[in-house]
Structure 1
Amino acid sequence: MKRTKGGRLALALSVAMVATALSMPVSSASKELTSLEEAGEGTSNAVQMGAADAEEEAGSSTISKEKAESLIRQYVNIPEDYVLQRTSYQTNMLTEGKRYEWNMQFQKQVNGKHIGSINASIDADSGQLMSFSSYVDNPSAKPTFPLKVDRKEAQRMAEELIGELAASYQTQLRLDEAYGADTLPPLTGGVVHQLRYERVVNGNLFNGNFIRISIDSEGHLQSFRLVWDDTITFPEAGKTLTMEEAQAALEKAADPELYYILPFNQGMGAAKPYLSYQLQPFAIDAVSGDLLGEDRYYSYRRGEVSADPLTKQPLGSKPETGQLSEKDAIAAVKDGFGLPEGSELVSSSFNDYKDEQTGKPKLQWHLNWVLKKDGKEAGNLYASVDGSTGVVQSFNQYSHHNEVKDGQGVTLERALEKAENTVKEQLPWLTDKLYTVKPDEKQYEYKQPEEIGSYSISFVHKVHGATVQYDYVNVNIDARTGEVRSFEARIADFDYAYSTPRLISESAAVTHWMDVYKPQLTYRLQEQYWLDGQPLPVEKVNLLIASGERVPDDIEKKSTVELVYQLVSRPLEDSVFLDARDGQWRSEETGEATSLDRPRATDIEGHWAEHSLELMVAYKALDLKDGEVRPGAKITRGELIKMLVLARNSGRFASYDGLANKEMSASFNDVSASSAYFAYVESALEQNLIDRGDGNFEPDATVSRDEMAELIVRALGYNPLAEYDHMFKVNFKDADGIANKGQAAIVVGLKIMTLSDGKFLPSKEVTRAEASIAFYRYLQKRAELHEAPLRI
């Protein structure tokens, strides 16, 4: 689309702003553009041309390199100390043609160090600004909490910017309400509002074209990106299904699948698999309601899962347990895969640990060989063996030389046969539960063995017809020699029921999922690139053109546009899964029952701590009982630690290095791995926010103001300073009764906690409302106390 006359806006990036970073907000006059993270979204059709091709193509464009630089300098006031570092001429493959863009990067360096950069691209024919980005090395930039600019204000700024920079597109755009929308209130000032305005054609969405803008919570523009293709021919909408008819058709076409899934933060030894109904988004024809294929360029790459397992009955029984010596482990590898002539064992290690999921003891050998040929190193071989059963868990062979006689290789069928036989030999007790994932042979057409490298063939583990999502079996077969190059088998040691458990119906599962998804009427563009009769991924296309092996005209592009109803997910506060046994939504992190909607307290309207209590309830730092948060109830030690850790982690679920330790056990006698506070308490201990003391944490005990003051000061990182309490003027009326005088002085001085008639009241028990207020103030002060590193 051509720019309208008079639509050019000089976007000033001042020298002062480069020095102070993010100092100017978006305004209706000149826009201060600051750091854009160059987005890959919408740019997959862009290819960088070789130097000769670029020069030839650039000569045919309307705007020369010199004119392009002049236009960019009109859009952006480039400071004098920024030097043009790089210029490139880029081709964007459109549906019916090409668009050329000039890309320019300006850099500022001081004493050879990169201080800042400015990037901009414009349409080489129309002069339309397509993107802008800048980077300024300024660690002193300090966002504030609460936010100066919320999402609603950022939206107003973005729409004003579109009116200045892309006025001719303005009437063809609609805000994607879900894109970038965080369902939870922020716990940090470092927030960037992501906004995307999608193209509207014939009154219907087309989300393949859009304008994307990001604005930070201080009101500074961080990104502008225009992705548009005027060469697409859209079919007339005609008579489509109504929203109600589409809803019914989508529900009828929905095909939920059963999976065993494993929440990833259940605690050491507490993990258990859940049966879950999963439903991936899909689309139907907007007129007929017929189910359509996936909206993917190359879905064939995923392969097709076989209808039947490797065998109807297992070929053997599960190996008995014992303890293998190094000699036994080496023999297991040799018997299973063979050791090439000239193999030399160079290292081995033995591990004895507890499985972090099941808590069961595990033994494992790790073995490493060097492969030699004619006295010289020719490769490596690595293997791991279960030290209890002798099962080879991984085998990886790397050879520097793979000779192929007469240029012959192996076919996909031969590779599949080899892979299946390998799995049958290594995992005979599972053959009736393993299903081959056959790669689509189209991806190997017209390729020589050396181009293929190896066939990667995976196997799906199913129990009672449900895919075990956390298990993994993969075999790589060398396309030149037919040898096994690698074998990986990760089968979790869980005990499954002998028969399929009682489940909710598939129709009930669909009904549940329709609470997550909503129908959306939209145009869908599907594109494929073809070269010499075979489909190619866009990355391969870009590589071929950039290297000069091919020119854009060699690539055939096939495009189809269809009007569809598709399922789109509404924003969710938690990553959830649907429990197939009881229809309950559960957290993917913990497996705990959860809700699709934010919990809301019914007993805090008009309360003096309403806002801070809402914040803590939203992040589940405080639980609800019958819908009530009980603001006057005493807060417990467990609740306070959970609140503190969530505040420090910006609301994310607690995770800590200890979870990965194979010999980890609970640090406190009264907070076991099954406790709801376990991860938070262990995280707090690891961060030195609490001490182990006598080994008891007392999670249900109440908390005094003295104790809370120390916790907050530890979280701020000032506790060592607070120990020098003689440095502080503690003139509270009850100072003699304060155990942590320095800490009390700090929290009062920072106005995180307050006095009552000149008294600190150190032994007073803290209520839930008081704790929520204190931590809200902590969040504010944490942002204010952010310190930049000293520059010398």
Structure 2
Amino acid sequence: MGNQRKKMKRFRAAVVSTMTLSMVMGAAMPAWAARTSADASVGTVADTAVETSDETVHNGSSALSITEETANISSEEAEARMKKLFPLLREAKLDQIRFGSDRFPPAREAVWNLNWSVSSEDGRSTHGFSTEMDAMTGDILSMFVPETVLGEPSYYPPKVSREEARKTAEALVKRAVPSLNGVALSVRDADSLDGALFGPFRYSFLFETEHRGIPVTFRSVHVGIDGNGNATQLSYQPLPDNMPPAANPIAKEKAMAAYKEHLELQLAYVNLNPYREEPKWALAWVPTPSHSGVMDAITGDWIGFDGMEIPKGDAAVRYESIAPSAGDAYQPTRPEGKTISRAQAERIVASVYRMPDGYELEQHSLQEDFNVKRSVWRLTWRQEGPSPMGFGPGITATVDAENGQVYEIRKDLFPPYAALPEPEQKGGEAISAAEAKRKADELVAKLFPDAEGSLKRIEGSVPGMPANPSQDAYSFAYQPFRNGYPLQDASVRLQLSKDGQLVSYAAWSSGPMPEASDLPKDAAISQAEAERLWLERSDLALRYDRFGGYYVDNGERVEEKIRLTYRHEWKSGDEASVLDAATGKWVARGFGNPLPTGEPVDPIDIEGHAAESDLRTLAQFRVLDTDEDARANPGAAITRAQWARWLAAAVNPHYANEGYYGPNGMEEKPYYADVSVDDELHKAFRVLAMMSWIDPKHEAGSSFGPGEALTREELAVWAAHVLRYDRLAELLREDPVIGDAADVESIEHPGAAALSVKLQLLSVEDGRWNPDKETTRAEAASFLMKLVRLQASVDQPVNSRYY
């Protein structure tokens, strides 16, 4: 009887909300609202799931003003559903369940947020995590259980195959996300995110969805299955309520013809290694700033970053030289010591920025800006007085600690504060747009080195640069140039108030600014030839795109828009994205180069080899390197450099594509004297240092010998490092298992040798240890796989330092 009253209460509340919405809109009750009202009288989770058709979007939870009492699913039902879908949660304690999301702005309003915790057996540590469920549909929005929290994590070899894990993931999606019932799903392995041999083993799958038969890039389901077949992760982002109505898109042939007319390339300098150790600048043919490569598939308009039509004619992007009429040009600040002081940094900011009333310096720190390898002062001023979230809006400035150059001044208006009124400031008389432009040029000349000679003001609307909807400020953007060509991956933006005061400033670059003399100056291919090569590789994809949904400099939110688009992409199989103008060749670009997906290289020379299985496994997990002819060369000696790369790839197959840094700032200098920081091997050392398999302080100044062959004794020493048995190995120095070897006197590390024999990683051969014997690639492959299989049996997790 109590349940019946609860269902009737939900029903009445839904009807009242629907009637109110219909009267406000002046329209009949929408189909989705009618279905929601009807479903409110049904008790089971499966039946309350909102249906989806090709003509309407039914999300339910954010369309009405739902409360905890009127939600289709009660808190008790949410807890039971979570535990049923994810049995691992039965081992956790539910600490709290709240109605409402932690996200801002909330993607869904009617959400159950469940906070869980797991305590260690001795009670000395507790791990917490949370899950989210749509309170109207029962859709799981987020669930992630850390592998090391509930029981022992699974390691290689997994108990379930990838195909078995895929079937488990597919079945889970059908039960966990009932709103997708009837929606076409395409699943692909997301093993670019996981799939390492060392560490907890997990399969990852990404389910991509469609709406009216068209791909939706922002609605997908990501599922993680551990090696035991347990679901440890699921994340789902539903469709928003503002999906556009059904309409017939322009034919692709017509869109492609329009793209050919729209395309215009220009010469520019492109950093092929953004956010890496050393920038690599190339003169490349790239689209002009007025080119976005995104077309509204209904209207045929070309649209920019914010989803707005790209202006044509006089409003198109153009560059104008700056000529400050007054004011001081940038001059480096002389440090009072090794670096400028905090007080100097404050004075520099105060010389160009009017601090609002009521702001006091709260934080200051001297730190490294890893992107461009420089020391900077970061200063934060905070507004005084009580705040609803414990801290008020802040103003942050970043100043170079060596020369006083200002890189950024910004006001941090967090979402809850964006709508709060600012304290009234004493402003001067408003200035004209022409006067604002003159003042902006003067300010940028004072803030940026050689601004008059190296910057040009951008006029027009730039696709990719968020438009600021505020009418209370003047916004300006400047493009750095070298040798007459724009320098991509670098920009300068500033905002002035209506009375001409600096509001925000940002001088951004993906790496140190290059000298003009160090850059190539001549193009080997013409613009016409470049555009022909570009079009040969180009395609357009029809899909739903989302624009907006972000906050701009002044704290205002650019509203979200959904549009059906044709978006430029490279044809299948083409990964290189930069056309080098000096060579006419396509080259890959740092973070723009996608992680390897699909089937890895299958070596052609390992069939029938004694180590075939181990070699093939390493190839499958993208550890084994092959030559241009796909040969693994199993009988060749493995070098120290090759072994180091194998170890790093066994931890993270994509370590070479990532920009993380090693411990204690070691990214600033070589790990070994004979391997420079711009060597690919340096990236492998980063991983080994993170795993504590090498000691940067101990190794500094020594030589690694990357081209030398790896010996048996070196393998044994590596085993002690990987398994964290270095101290145990020292206790085994006198162990007879190795002490009885005929060549024991030539063994430099007898403890490591004894350890490797006891663990059956290596063996004594005909009474000899043969410490200097070179290791073949096949022997190294088998040795590495033995280490991988041992990680589940050691007391200290092999991965504990890296993850």
TM-score under structure 1 length normalisation: 0.66
Deviations 1:116-151 (A, max 9, x none): 667453453xx5445463657826432211444454
Q: Output the CA distance in 1 between the equivalents of 2:83 and 2:346.
A: 70
Q: Output the CA distance in 2 between the equivalents of 1:331 and 1:747.
A: 57
1:422: Cα distance to partner?
1.0
Residue 523 of structure 2: aligned partner: 502
Residue 391 of structure 2: aligned partner: none
Q: Output the CA distance in 1 between the equivalents of 2:110 and 2:398.
A: 50
Residue 180 of structure 1: aligned partner: 190
Residue 463 of structure 1: aligned partner: 482
| Alignment partner of 1:275 out of 247, 271, 283 | 283
Matched, 1:689 2:700: no
1:589: Cα distance to partner?
4.9
Q: Determine helix, strand or coil for the equivalent of 2:319.
A: coil
Deviations 1:247-296 (A, max 9, x none): 676566555564421515765xx6442234457984446689x4642475
Residue 441 of structure 2: aligned partner: 420
Matches within 5 A, 1:122-161: 122=134, 124=136, 128-131=138-141, 133=143, 135=145, 138=149, 140-161=151-172
Q: Output the CA distance in 2 between the equivalents of 1:322 and 1:407.
A: 30
Matches within 5 A, 1:629-778: 629-649=632-652, 651-653=654-656, 656-657=661-662, 660=665, 666=670, 668-673=672-677, 675-680=679-684, 687=692, 689=694, 692=699, 695-726=702-733, 728=735, 730=737, 734=742, 736=744, 737-754=746-763, 756=765, 760-778=769-787
Deviations 1:744-781 (A, max 9, x none): 23333334335556754323211122222222332332
1:717: Cα distance to partner?
1.8
Q: Output the CA distance in 2 between the equivalents of 1:70 and 1:184.
A: 29
Q: Output the CA distance in 2 between the equivalents of 1:109 and 1:394.
A: 44
Does the Cα contact within 8 Å between 2:345 and 2:377 map onto a contact in 1? Answer: no
Deviations 1:394-453 (A, max 9, x none): 585999x98634796667776544322211344473425423357979976676x5xxxx
Deviations 1:637-667 (A, max 9, x none): 23223333443455413865489569x5556
Q: Output the CA distance in 2 between the equivalents of 1:469 and 1:751.
A: 55
Deviations 1:671-696 (A, max 9, x none): 34565534545775784637649844
Cα distance change of structure 1 residues 239 and 767 upon mapping to structure 2, 3 Å threshold: same
Does the Cα contact within 8 Å between 1:315 and 1:429 map onto a contact in 2? Answer: no
Deviations 1:522-547 (A, max 9, x none): 4x26677xxxxxxxx4779xx99xxx
- Show structure 2 runs of 5+ residues with no match: 1-31, 47-56, 383-393, 413-421
Deviations 1:432-477 (A, max 9, x none): 5423357979976676x5xxxx766442213356442344434454
- Show structure 1 runs of 5+ residues with no match: 11-41, 372-378, 529-536, 545-554
Does the Cα contact within 8 Å between 1:261 and 1:275 map onto a contact in 2? Answer: no
Does the Cα contact within 8 Å between 2:221 and 2:234 map onto a contact in 1? Answer: no
Matches within 5 A, 1:216-255: 216-221=226-231, 222-223=233-234, 225=236, 227-228=238-239, 234-235=245-246, 237=248, 240-241=251-252, 253-255=262-264
1:198: Cα distance to partner?
0.7
Counterpart amino acid of residue 492 in structure 1: M
Cα distance change of structure 1 residues 318 and 761 upon mapping to structure 2, 3 Å threshold: farther
Q: Output the CA distance in 2 between the equivalents of 1:559 and 1:321.
A: 44
State the superposition RMSD in angstroms: 6.3
Matched, 1:492 2:513: yes
Q: Determine helix, strand or coil for the equivalent of 1:641.
A: helix
Higher relative contact order (CA 8 A, sep 6+): 1
* Higher deviation after alignment, 332-341 or 478-487: 332-341
Cα distance change of structure 1 residues 606 and 7 upon mapping to structure 2, 3 Å threshold: farther
Matches within 5 A, 1:388-467: 392-394=405-407, 404-405=425-426, 415-427=436-448, 429-437=450-458, 457-464=476-483, 466-467=485-486
Counterpart amino acid of residue 121 in structure 1: M
1:328: Cα distance to partner?
11
Counterpart amino acid of residue 199 in structure 1: E
Q: Output the CA distance in 1 between the equivalents of 2:109 and 2:653.
A: 42
Cα distance change of structure 1 residues 259 and 660 upon mapping to structure 2, 3 Å threshold: farther
Counterpart amino acid of residue 611 in structure 2: A
Deviations 1:500-536 (A, max 9, x none): 42244556656766798754344x26677xxxxxxxx
Q: Determine helix, strand or coil for the equivalent of 2:790.
A: helix
Counterpart amino acid of residue 778 in structure 1: L
Does the Cα contact within 8 Å between 1:706 and 1:762 map onto a contact in 2? Answer: yes
1:322: Cα distance to partner?
12
Residue 337 of structure 1: aligned partner: 351
TM-score under structure 2 length normalisation: 0.66
Residue 607 of structure 1: aligned partner: 609
Does the Cα contact within 8 Å between 1:133 and 1:223 map onto a contact in 2? Answer: yes
Counterpart amino acid of residue 642 in structure 1: R
Q: Output the CA distance in 1 between the equivalents of 2:498 and 2:335.
A: 34
1:709: Cα distance to partner?
1.2
Q: Output the CA distance in 1 between the equivalents of 2:726 and 2:245.
A: 64
Counterpart amino acid of residue 745 in structure 1: A
Counterpart amino acid of residue 482 in structure 1: Q
Q: Determine helix, strand or coil for the equivalent of 1:227.
A: coil
Cα distance change of structure 1 residues 318 and 107 upon mapping to structure 2, 3 Å threshold: closer
Q: Output the CA distance in 1 between the equivalents of 2:710 and 2:247.
A: 67
Matched, 1:582 2:583: yes
Matched, 1:121 2:124: no
Q: Determine helix, strand or coil for the equivalent of 1:603.
A: coil
Q: Output the CA distance in 1 between the equivalents of 2:722 and 2:332.
A: 47
Counterpart amino acid of residue 715 in structure 2: M
Cα distance change of structure 1 residues 318 and 482 upon mapping to structure 2, 3 Å threshold: closer
Q: Determine helix, strand or coil for the equivalent of 1:697.
A: coil
Cα distance change of structure 1 residues 658 and 730 upon mapping to structure 2, 3 Å threshold: same
Matched, 1:779 2:802: no
Q: Determine helix, strand or coil for the equivalent of 2:133.
A: strand
Deviations 1:304-336 (A, max 9, x none): 995123338999999999977679996997799
Cα distance change of structure 1 residues 157 and 734 upon mapping to structure 2, 3 Å threshold: farther
Deviations 1:316-360 (A, max 9, x none): 999999977679996997799379999999999999x999979xx
1:624: Cα distance to partner?
2.0
1:107: Cα distance to partner?
4.6
1:47: Cα distance to partner?
6.1
Residue 39 of structure 1: aligned partner: none
Q: Determine helix, strand or coil for the equivalent of 1:708.
A: helix
Residue 307 of structure 1: aligned partner: 318
Q: Output the CA distance in 2 between the equivalents of 1:58 and 1:7.
A: 14
Cα distance change of structure 1 residues 494 and 66 upon mapping to structure 2, 3 Å threshold: closer
Cα distance change of structure 1 residues 525 and 678 upon mapping to structure 2, 3 Å threshold: closer
Does the Cα contact within 8 Å between 2:270 and 2:283 map onto a contact in 1? Answer: yes
Deviations 1:602-653 (A, max 9, x none): 4334434345445666757646255544222212223223333443455413
Residue 16 of structure 1: aligned partner: none
* Higher deviation after alignment, 339-348 or 735-744: 339-348
